[in-house]
């Protein structure tokens, strides 16, 4: 079965407090869904039209598990805390 991944590339962080509140709620929601964080923040070198801002990569055992975790009530509460605190490109993608 192909793994599922959450890929978040942040364009800007306008409210670090909202991001911190989101992180407090998102961590247990992701863990409950079986997600494993591979990348969270750290150094970034951007190329082409990329932006050297925060990047997050989370692996799940399946694409379906990744989608279900995003739809979970716990993660939806995290998104409410984040609201307009960041601008990001968030995708759920299937791995090889």
Domain ranges of the chain: 4-94
CATH architecture of the domain covering 4-94:
2-Layer Sandwich (3.30)
pLDDT digits (tens, 9 = 90+) for 43-87: 989 999 888 899 999 999 999 999 999 999 999 999 999 999 999
Q: Residues near 57 by Cβ (< 8 Å), separated by ≥ 6?
A: 5, 6, 7, 8, 37, 38, 39, 40
pLDDT(95) > 90: yes
What CA–CA distances, in Å, run from 84 to 14, 16, 29, 80, 87? Answer: 8, 11, 20, 9, 7
pLDDT of 96: 85
pLDDT(27) > 90: yes
pLDDT digits (tens, 9 = 90+) for 40-50: 988 989 999 88
């Amino acid at each position: 079965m192909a793994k599922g991944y959450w890929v978040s590339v942040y364009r800007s962080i306008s409210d670090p407090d909202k991001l911190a509140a989101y992180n407090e709620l998102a961590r247990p929601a992701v863990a409950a869904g079986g997600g494993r964080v591979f990348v969270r923040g750290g150094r970034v070198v951007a190329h082409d039209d990329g932006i050297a801002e925060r990047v997050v990569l989370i692996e799940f055992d399946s694409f379906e598990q990744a989608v279900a975790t995003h739809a979970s009530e716990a993660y939806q509460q995290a998104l409410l805390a984040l609201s307009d605190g960041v601008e990001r490109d968030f995708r759920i993608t299937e791995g090889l």
